[in-house]
Amino acid sequence: MNREEIRDIDKRIVKLLSERIEIYKNILKEKNRKGRISIIDLLNEIDVFLDQYGEEESGRIIKKIYNEIINSSFSQVKPLKAAYLGPEGTFTNIALNEIFGSSVEKIPKRTIREVFYEVEEGNADYGVVPVENSTEGPVTFTLDEMIETDLNIVAEKYIRISYCLLSKGGDIGNINKVYTHPQPHGQCKSWLQKNLPGVSVVYVDSTSRAAEIAADEPNAAAIASRAAGEIYSLEIAADRIEDLRQNYTRFYAMGKTENMPCGKDKTSIVCAIKDKPGALLSLLMPFSELGINMTKIESRPNKKKMWQYNFFIDFLGHKDDSVVVEALNKMMKETVFLKVLGSYRIGI
């Protein structure tokens, strides 16, 4: 195939994409007029369709292209705002871009509580927050907020986490202080002990904040993403400093809407069980009886009652599926309280 043949294919692709965008925008305008429009449901619908192309590199590229098409078309009909744990350049920022594309208006916040607040108050349509890391475990600030909030989980996203040691000069020998968020510090602890023993470690609100501070201190460094280094004009003193290469963080998108079933759903709940022998076994028995696949269970101390625990549970299926409704009804009999946090498409 020569260059002219490739150019001809490109022209046809551009023509078809332009036609698709215009037709889709008209459909969205009609849906919006009738009040039946949800960006998450639209993204889930196209993702399920694109699953046939697999998860190889070409399939992922196609999904990213369609993600931008859906999001940019949607934003022209109904502009969206999304809050996230910022500032710009955090991995939460990266997760937000993966979910909502580049067209959404991004609102960076300093804390996870502020992200929830922005959505609860209607200042943002969605909020994106980290919920757990494959190395360090749950993000407890997020779990605590989810118990109190009326927002729903509407999407999840897994992001491969790779950290750089960033500094103004890029010389590791000149570093006497490292700024970092507690989570990445835990994920890079062995590397720091081996390569920078005795160096002072200072905790800050986010990886991007660490980079921002390090940019103003000649002998300081930050543990942050490559993107943060580019934003704050820092050099890479060391790359891929995380202790484990299979290091992923799971992110939630939170909103006021509820998703329709898409056929590849996951549901999250939180509950507290009654104080009696075998209570946890009785709580989980409906999963086994009804053939529901539980994918996670996490305990978290109840801050209001000493020595009592809340259980965060994930399982496959949508909350409106008949078998899930039956399971939840049985579980409610074994709990002090049970709250459905949301049903959403299984993330990748």
Q: What is the mean pLDDT of residues 285-296?
A: 94
pLDDT tens digits along 143-193: 999 999 999 999 999 998 889 999 988 888 889 999 998 888 988 999 999
Assess whether pLDDT exceeds 90 at residue 24: no
At 45-94, the pLDDT tens digits run 777 777 766 666 666 777 778 778 887 777 777 788 999 988 888 889 98
Per-residue pLDDT at 348 exceeds 70: yes
Query: How confident is the model at residue 78, as a pLDDT?
Result: 78
Please report the pLDDT score of residue 5 as a whole number.
82
Domain spanning 164-239, CATH class? alpha beta
**Percentage of residues of the chain with pLDDT beyond 90:** 46
pLDDT band at residue 1 under the 50/70/90 scheme: low
- Catalytic status, residue 149: no
Q: Give the global pTM.
A: 0.80
Catalytic residue among 74, 100, 251, 312: 251
Q: Per DSSP, what are the bridge partners of residue 249?
A: 133, 159
Q: What does pLDDT average to over the chain? A: 87
Inter-residue contact 155 to 344 (CB < 8 Å)? yes
Question: Which residues, at least 6 apart from 37, have a Cβ–Cβ distance to it below 8 Å?
Answer: 28, 31, 74, 77, 78
Catalytic site residue from 142, 249, 267, 335: 249
The residue behind tokens 């996490």 is 298
Q: Which pLDDT does position 143 carry in this prediction?
A: 92
Determine the pLDDT at residue 314. 96
Is 249 catalytic? The answer is yes
Q: What's the topology of domain 265-345? A: Alpha-Beta Plaits (3.30.70)
Please list, in sequence order, all residues whose beta carbon lies within 8 angstroms of the beta carbon of residue 121, skipping any fewer than 6 positions away.
none
Q: 140 falls in which pLDDT band (50, 70, 90)? A: confident
What confidence category does residue 238 fall into, taking pLDDT thresholds of 50, 70 and 90?
Answer: very high
